[in-house]
Amino acid sequence: MDHSNYQTDYKHVGQPYSRKDAQKKVTGQAQYAIDLDLPGMLYGKWLLSPHARAKILSIDTSAAKALPGVKAVITGEETDILVGLYMQDKLAMAKGETRYQGEVVAAVAAVDLQTAEKAISLIKVDYEPLKPVLDVDEALDGDILVHEDINELKHVEGVFFPQKDSNIASLNKAKRGDVDKALQEADIVVESEFSLPAVAHAPMETHVTIVQADPYSNRIVVWSSAQSPFALRQMLAHSFKISESDIEVNIPFVGGAFGGKAGIHLEPLATLLSKAANGAPVKLIPTREEEFNQLPTRAGMRGHIITGAKKDGKITAVKVVYDWDSGAYADYGVNVGKTAVYSGIGPYDIENAAVVSKTIYTNKVFSTAYRGFGHLETHWTIERQMDIISQKLGIDPLDLRMKNLLEPGSRTISGELISESSGSVKDCLAAVVKEIGWTGRKTEEERRKEWATGKVRGKGFAVLQKAPAMPANTSTSVIMQMTGDGRVKMMIGAIDYGQGANTTMAQIAAQELDLPIDRVEVVENLSTQTNPYDWNTVASKYTFMGGNAVIRASRDMLRQMKDIAAQVLHSTADHLAHGGGYIYHIHNPERRIAYEQLALGYQYPDGSGIGGPLISHGVYMADGLTNLDHETGQGKPALVWTFGAHAVDLEVDVETGSITILKVASAFDIGQVINEKLIYGQICGGVLQGLGSAILEGYKFSPDNRLLNPSFTDNKIPTMKDMPIEVVPIYIENPQKNGPYGARGVGEHPMISVPSAVGNAVYDALGINFHVLPLSPEAIVLGILSGKESILCTDVNCLPGCY
Amino acid sequence: MVDHKECSLLDEHIASNQRKVSLTCVVNGVEICDTIDPTMTLLHFLRDRLKLFGTKESCGEGECGACTVIMNGKAVTSCIILAIEADGAEILTVEGLAKDGRISILQEEFISEDALQCGFCTPGFLMSTRALLDRNPDPSEEEIKEALAGNLCRCTGYLPILKAVKKAAERERKELK
Ligand code: FES
Ligand code: FES
């Protein structure tokens, strides 16, 4: 299928318009935070802890302070600014103790970057290195506490549950039915463990931040490469104990985010530096190395799963424990852990289920949200396990899934009823297996034959689900104004960091108002001073929530136009319709008024006017969601599920271990395509990011928890040579009743379950079950050489024990 | 009150950084003469001195291609080249691709194929591609991948970029004869 063949019945919704900001981006005009050059601006730099865990005995900043051109030097000793999203567990700078290699210990602001760097090199810190908590096992032993004050840490109560005297930042759970009984009664019980390492977001623009903090008032102005301006404003206000209205957050173009720029990052540090430098704007530009080892990452994860099934393939019980290696701070990590509970058994209807999810502190770089918000990781567990069950039962993995997938009438683990309006995961799976021509697994015989050629083909697939992970009362808003020439300008609360929110929202407004797309503009470069509120630009929620808000704003605008037009045309509003830029009478379309005649108020021939400048707004607040019961996990967490499936056709070189991805077919039940070109982009990009996690990416730590690969040389992300030969997007459109034109979000989903589908295809090719990511060439070769059927560890360093 | 000690120290500091060298080059068709710090990279010369912010910095280590410009017909990563190496050279940056108030075919194809999302890698991709098409107007898919493998993009998955490059090459061969 050529992706440009998509057909839509609408004039604007579904059209593959080019993104509105594209011309600025291809001419170099788009300004990112890194391009901003403010008068009097200073440059910040910081000193990072070289130890994973250490006592700070003393810091000598005298030489740095004496260096000409240095305007401010600060250390954690002088400040108590707490930063924390869900757990108040992090200081803006380390004080007394450092908890990961990469934590900020001291910082300077100077007239230029060179001087700042020089000053940093002059700061002397005396550390007493302490034994770090290396991994989740050590953390769960609890001999050393990463946060000794865990019992006192402030946190969002009733949602997150830190465990007393432990390294568990939050323990969340859900259950349905009687798992233990069902496991006893099952014909077959399969127990497995799967894991994957921490992975970097690697946005091309690092977390660049500029702050100007007025020394004479509480006023703070921020320019940041961030994706959640309103959450950032709220958290900064909280940290500095000032009002949100004291803070102005400006977001220019953002060079990639992927969840890593949600929340708050370098802004508190930049604020402290600006204050110390008497209110000069201070710019912080993390280097690529700092982006890797200082700024947060995706958590590593280990999933332990026990599944019970009947001989016919009906799954009767599943019990999962997820252990998240969240590093030194909880950040968004605890919320990932929470999400793993209500989405933790995948899109399956399993009567008896229990999930426990622990977000665990270790002395590593801390974790945060990353595209998919834990779902790539949980689906690595669930979807590989499904394949293993199908092997054990001798049932085709397609049939096994079809027998157990959610369908209208099923309930999720949190008790939510799935309806026709929820979308269909079965439709997605059916579409992708058809696209790759699945006819069943290879036989041993077929495998052996191909093996002799040095290259083995394999096919595999996996399903997926995700709903926005957000508070039950999440909201968004839109302001719409009409200019004198009858065009529309909208201000929205979301950031367009490349996902195309501005273009999608313009299309929905164009559709509602029946205006040409070039007459609708979403104002670029958001400021919290002017733009209306949105919670966070995360969670694939904006097409749904923002789209609904835009529809409301458009309808409000039309209503206002019709009210005035009714008076002018001596009619009533309900006899009027709109189209082609006019409000007209339904029985006599020639009785009409152009939008531009109403835009600033209608003027009668005698010069007098009625109405006034047209301005409307639309809000959308999540409807019907609730917090989850702590013991049972029951409640309503999901605004809208988007289901999907990937199927992969690949080739493994049995000599080199390298995997060539021949084809990926990806289907998502998105309800309604709003912009086919943009969705295709999300799919191609997400699939490759997922392939990165599958075969390439991962943090490596030394025995004392130093990050060994903080660069693109050693922490590779996919290049053009790693992309699949073919990506086939498939759009399933079972409409979501309350979605804008029936649409659901799909920003994160293309990344989820890609590793699972690859792992399943590798099994088809080699007959080996890999349980650990990434499936790097070394891992594959060592797996083959081991002669084992299950590879539980791919750490080359622990050979030969594991192999 | 003026802090004379700080002033004189600052002067001294600036003076110590002032072992300047002169540099002449042509950037986007305009001749530039400047005196610069000999340790300045070409990337920082373009951004900080010429205020050409289209060329981006992403890794600063020659590993991502975001800073790619064309120097004497060759694509180079400007973050690991000293500005002084560009003495006498001809440089083309993303700001120099559009001509006579019209964006180029290559830029048009990047837009229509949606070969960009956040856009941060885009100037680098455009310049690597420009250099490729200048030396090889009809590259094979393998040659395109080879030429662009040094440019990282975290958003697009590259397929739309590959398609845009192919289409631009085809159109240039037809339309620019
Ligand atoms: S910034 Fe020059 S190669 Fe990355
Ligand atoms: S478009 Fe964002 S990195 Fe390429």
pLDDT 10s digits, A436-482: 999 999 999 999 999 999 999 999 999 999 999 999 999 999 999 99
Residue A683 lies in a domain: yes
CB contact under 8 A, A687 and B157: yes
User: What is the mean pLDDT of the segment spanning A127-133?
Assistant: 98
- CB contacts of B103 in chain A (<8 Å) are 23, 26-27
Distance A16 CA to ligand 2 centre (A): 19
pLDDT recorded at residue A793: 76
| A123 and A265 assigned to the same domain | yes
Distance CA A8, CA B6 (A): 68
Every domain range in chain B assigned CATH 3.10.20.30? 19-96
pLDDT interval class at A254 (50, 70, 90): very high
Cα angle value A779/A783/A788 (rounded, 5°): 155
Residues having CB closer than 6 A to ligand 1 are B 57-60, 62-67, 77, 79
At A293 the pLDDT is: 95
Q: Are A718 and A696 in contact (CB under 8 A)?
A: yes
Asked whether residue A425 carries a pLDDT value surpassing 80, the answer given is yes
In the predicted structure, residue A803 carries a pLDDT above the cut 90: no
Q: What is the mean pLDDT of residues A255-277?
A: 97
- Is the distance from CB of A171 to CB of A356 less than 8 angstroms? yes
Q: Within this chain, do residues A538 and A616 fall inside the same structural domain, yes or no?
A: yes
For the residues B113-131, what does the mean pLDDT come to? Answer: 98
Of A226, A259, A284, which one is at a domain's C-terminal end? Answer: A284
Q: Is B116 on the interface with A (CB under 8 A)?
A: yes
B128 to chain A, any CB pair closer than 8 A? The answer is no
> Which residue has tokens 């309808």?
A555
Q: Give the tens place of pLDDT for each residue, A718-760.
A: 999 999 999 999 999 999 999 999 999 999 999 999 999 999 9
Among A564, A593, A621, where does a domain finish? A621
Within a domain: A408: yes
**Tokens representing B176?**
């620019």
Using a CB-CB cut-off of 8 Å, the residues of chain A touching B118 are 203-205, 253-257, 497-498
Q: What's the pLDDT score for residue A799?
A: 44
**CB within 8 Å: A681 and B160:** yes
The pair of structure tokens assigned to A263 is 């929340």
- Enclosing domain of residue A543: 3-30+474-621
A410 and A345 in a common domain: yes
Same domain, A613 and A654: no
In a domain? residue A139: no
DSSP characters for A122-133? T-EEEEEE----
Q: What is the ipTM of this complex?
A: 0.97
The tokens for A773 are 């990511």
Contact (CB<8Å) A115/B103: no
A34 and B119 within 8 Å at the Cβ level: the answer is: no
Q: Tell whether A464 and A484 lie within a shared domain.
A: no
Q: Residues 6 to 45 of B: which have CB under 8 A from any A CB?
A: 6, 9-10, 12-14, 17
For CATH 1.10.150.120, list the domain ranges present in chain B: 105-175
Distance A30 CA to ligand 2 centre (A): 13
- Residue A289 domain flag: no
Note the CATH architecture for domain B19-96: Roll (3.10)
Residue A611: inside a domain: yes
| Residue where a domain stops, chosen among A580, A601, A621 | A621
Query: If contacts are CB pairs under 8 Å, which of residues 632-671 in chain A contact chain B?
Result: none
CATH of the domain at A575: 3.30.365.10
Partner-chain contact B95 A27, CB within 8 Å: yes
Return the pLDDT at B10. 55
The CATH class that applies to domain B105-175 reads mainly alpha
Contact between residue A382 and residue A397 where contact means Cβ atoms under 8 Å apart: no
How many residue contacts between A and B have a Cβ separation below 8 Å?
182
Query: Which of B64, B154, B161, B163 is best to mutate for the A interface (most A CBs within 10 A)?
Result: B154
List Cβ neighbours of B94 (8 Å cut-off, separation of 6 or more): A26, A27, A28, B54, B55, B122, B123, B126, B127
Compute the distance between CA of residue A736 and CA of residue A393 in angstroms, rounded to an integer. 36
Looking at chain B, the number of H-run helices and the number of E-run strands are: 6, 5
Q: Which of B47, B56, B67, B69 to mutate to test the pocket of ligand 1 (most atoms within 8 A of CB)?
A: B67
Same domain membership, residue A26 and residue A73: no
The yes-or-no verdict on residue B130 having pLDDT over 90 is yes
Domain identity same for A373 and A425: yes
Would you call A803 helix, strand, or coil by DSSP? coil
Does A22 lie at the interface with B, CB-CB under 8 angstroms?
Answer: yes
Name the 3-class secondary structure at A602: strand
**Chain A, nearest residue to B143 by Cα:** A721
CA distance B17 to B19: 6
Q: Tell me the pLDDT tens digit for each residue of A149-198.
A: 999 999 999 999 999 999 999 999 999 999 999 999 999 999 999 999 99
Distance of CA B61 from the midpoint of ligand 1 (Å): 5
Confidence of residue A84 (pLDDT cuts 50, 70, 90): confident
- Flag whether pLDDT at B127 surpasses 50: yes
- Verify that A568 and A607 share a domain, yes or no: yes
A500 Cβ inside 6 Å of ligand 2? no
Q: Is A498 in the pocket of ligand 2 (CB under 6 A)?
A: yes
* Number of structural domains found in chain A: 3
**A669: distance to nearest CA of chain B, Å?**
21
Q: Residue A4 Cα, ligand 2 centroid: separation in angstroms?
A: 21
Q: Does B176 touch chain A (CB under 8 A)?
A: no
Q: What backbone torsions phi and psi does residue A302 show, to the nearest 5 degrees?
A: -130, 125
Find the closest chain B residue to A206 by CA distance.
B58
Query: How many Å lie between the centroid of ligand 1 and the Cα of residue A761?
Result: 35
Average pLDDT, chain A: 96
Return the residue whose CA atom lies nearest to atom 4 of ligand 2: B153
Q: In what order do the strands lie in the sheet with A282-284?
A: A70-75, A104-110, A42-48, A282-284, A209-213, A220-224, A247-251, A526-527
CATH of the domain at A116: 3.90.1170.50
Encoded tokens for A314: 């009906």
If asked whether residues A696 and A559 sit together in one domain, one would say no
**Residue A173 domain flag:** no
Specify whether the CB–CB gap between A504 and A746 falls below 8 A: no
Give the separation between CA B14 and CA B126, rounded to whole angstroms: 37
Going by C-alpha positions, the residue among A128, A132, A117 that lies closest to residue A47 is: A117
Average pLDDT over residues A553-571: 98
Distance from CA of B24 to the nearest CA of A (A): 23
Band (A802; pLDDT cuts 50, 70, 90): very low
Q: Same structural domain for residues A596 and A665?
A: no
The answer to whether A21 contacts chain B (CB < 8 Å) is: yes
My answer on whether A25 and A95 are in the same domain is no
CA of A34 to the centre of ligand 1 (A): 14
A30 to B59: CB separation less than 8 angstroms, yes or no? no
**Distance in Å, CA A170 to ligand 1 centroid:** 39
pTM here is 0.96
